[in-house]
Chain A
Amino acid sequence: MSDPIIEVKNVSKSYGGVKANVDITMKVERGSITGIIGPNGCGKTTLFNSIVGYHPIDTGSISFDGDEISKLRVGDIARLGMLRTFQQTRIYNKMDCVDNMQISVSHRPDSKVSVFASRKGEIRERAEHLLEFVGLYSKRNLISGDLSFGQQKLLELAMALMNEPKALLLDEPTAGINPTLINGLIDRLRRANEELGITLCVIEHNMRVIMNLASHIYCLSNGQMLAEGKPSELQNDQRVIDAYLGGH
């Protein structure tokens, strides 16, 4: 039974002459981990940006949990329960880690956290618990801008989890992470998916990571959808191999 939480239909987006996305169609099944791969410059981040509402799309439709969202702005889509992390890792760098977490609490209309809620109390506890989940508990009182790049990436992930999203779009979550720690990160992503029920859609360059993590993968090339399928299928797909190795 197909139950897509995100549906992208015939989406195209151009920037001043450059056709970044051409007629992209894809689905992200609820509860799954879906991957997006493709050589540099093929339009993966643009697709993410289109989905989360960062810019308007030229043609096509995008729906989230049954609602059409292509006309909505970033804030509205986030409040519907879809978040994204950034390739360059964005956090609130003058605040400490716990504060970063606390303000990442859900701002959806059904959230029980009010604008004027105190900063002590159960929000703080949840924040610290999640920091522990990603391994940053000992750094929780440090100013987040002082953390190393890898630590900031973990913080960004924890902040996303704090928000209790329905779906999380991750843009290259393992880029720049020490190889020995990637396994830990993958493990946490899987646990977030399985235990917390968050649907993940992941852009990745690290083939080992994405082939192990995702159940279904889409491959983009030159702004267009090249191939899709299970990891094992794509690994043997000649078109995918060609796209990465050079022939445009």
Chain B
Amino acid sequence: MLDNLQLLFVWAPVINIQIILEGIFVGAVFALSAYGLALVWGVMNIKNLAQGDFVIMGGYMALALTSANVHLALTMAIVIVTMFIYGWVVYVVMIRRIIDQDMFVSLLATFGLSLLMQQVMNLIFGPEVQTIDMELPVYEAFDGMVTIPSSKIISLIMAAIIAVTVILFMKKSRTGQAIRATAQDARAARVLGIDTDRVYAFTFAFNAALCGAAGVLVSIIWVIQPFYGITYSVRTFAIVTAAGLGNLPGVISAGFGIGLFEKYTGMIMGTAYEVAAPVSILLLVLIWRQISMRRNRQVVK
């Protein structure tokens, strides 16, 4: 560990750039799925513990499509649409019935969904770790100390495009406004003629699509595995807890923050700590939240 630290800060500080870039690439994806989680949470008060598995599912779909030689952009479109439909179905079959229930119910129900999805994916795709090899050029800088695969740059650009689209959609479109109205006061929205059930369905499906898109990016820039979903869910919860529900810039910076933290931890302490990193961040964030709420004599609800 000490060697790695020395490598980073004494012998070859250039490597920091590599790690920072990796952190940003990955953080962008985290931020996307965290935004989706916050959306579903804020609008419907559903804590979706299957969030990570939606991401992985998107990743596997991308894997299947690209190995059938479908172009990346088309893959992304197909995944988004399919995941949207999947999300809608899940809403109708399951989520709709637990909307007004006690908080633990949504958590446990989505956990059940998570288990289900993990096992199905394991059955279909097997437990090996997989990734999509885009076979695109890799850029080098600083005498080869920093390598930037162009696939990761493409991923970052796509993430940015998706993010901007989502933000514009929520601000300008009628559906987006309906969603925000329902989030603020569902009863008032109903009185004003908004079909809150459709809004909920749409929001959940939208989240699924967003996760699917994030999953496509993950399969390009990292690896996927049927049981990695829970780690993603832990990450997104940590981000949302740290940033708060309505805070978009907070979610984005927290996403990048986690990405950086994980990459640095992986570099300094070794890959054995890869799962421990997001979990420790979650615990740290929860502790920090408690401390800050305590000053106001509140608890973290």
> Within the assembled complex, what's the spacing in Å between the Cα atoms of A55 and B294?
10
Sorted nearest first, the 9 A-B pairs with minimum C-beta distance are A73-B297, A55-B297, A56-B297, A55-B296, A56-B296, A54-B297, A53-B297, A74-B297, A56-B295
- Produce 1/0 per residue, A67-93, CB < 8 A to B: 000000110000000000000000000
Residues of B contacting A: mostly: loop
Name B272-299 residues within 8 Å CB distance of A.
295-297
B296: which A residues are within 8 A, CB to CB? 55-56
Residues of A contacting B: mostly: loop
Name A15-50 residues within 8 Å CB distance of B.
none
Residues of A in contact (CB 8 Å), total 6
A53: which B residues are within 8 A, CB to CB? 297
A74: which B residues are within 8 A, CB to CB? 297
Cβ-closest chain A residue relative to B298: A55
Interface size on B, as a range, is under 10
B297: which A residues are within 8 A, CB to CB? 53-56, 73-74
Interface residues of B (CB under 8 A from A): 295-297
Cβ-closest chain A residue relative to B294: A73
B295: which A residues are within 8 A, CB to CB? 56
> Within the assembled complex, what's the spacing in Å between the Cα atoms of A54 and B295?
11
Instruction: List 7 extra interface pairs beyond A53-B297, A74-B297, CB under 8 A.
Output: A54-B297, A55-B296, A55-B297, A56-B295, A56-B296, A56-B297, A73-B297
> Within the assembled complex, what's the spacing in Å between the Cα atoms of A73 and B296?
10
> Within the assembled complex, what's the spacing in Å between the Cα atoms of A55 and B293?
11
A54: which B residues are within 8 A, CB to CB? 297
> Within the assembled complex, what's the spacing in Å between the Cα atoms of A54 and B296?
9
> Within the assembled complex, what's the spacing in Å between the Cα atoms of A192 and B35?
55
Shortest CB-to-CB span from B246 to chain A, Å, is 14
> Within the assembled complex, what's the spacing in Å between the Cα atoms of A73 and B299?
12
Cβ-closest chain B residue relative to A56: B297
> Within the assembled complex, what's the spacing in Å between the Cα atoms of A74 and B299?
13
Shortest CB-to-CB span from B294 to chain A, Å, is 9
> Within the assembled complex, what's the spacing in Å between the Cα atoms of A53 and B295?
12
Could you list 5 examples of A-B contacts with CB < 8 Å?
Answer: A54-B297, A55-B296, A55-B297, A56-B295, A73-B297
> Within the assembled complex, what's the spacing in Å between the Cα atoms of A56 and B298?
10
Shortest CB-to-CB span from B205 to chain A, Å, is 35
A56: which B residues are within 8 A, CB to CB? 295-297
> Within the assembled complex, what's the spacing in Å between the Cα atoms of A57 and B225?
51
Name A206-224 residues within 8 Å CB distance of B.
none
> Within the assembled complex, what's the spacing in Å between the Cα atoms of A73 and B298?
10
A55: which B residues are within 8 A, CB to CB? 296-297
> Within the assembled complex, what's the spacing in Å between the Cα atoms of A56 and B293?
12
> Within the assembled complex, what's the spacing in Å between the Cα atoms of A55 and B299?
12
Shortest CB-to-CB span from B292 to chain A, Å, is 13
Cβ-closest chain B residue relative to A53: B297
> Within the assembled complex, what's the spacing in Å between the Cα atoms of A56 and B297?
7
> Within the assembled complex, what's the spacing in Å between the Cα atoms of A176 and B230?
49
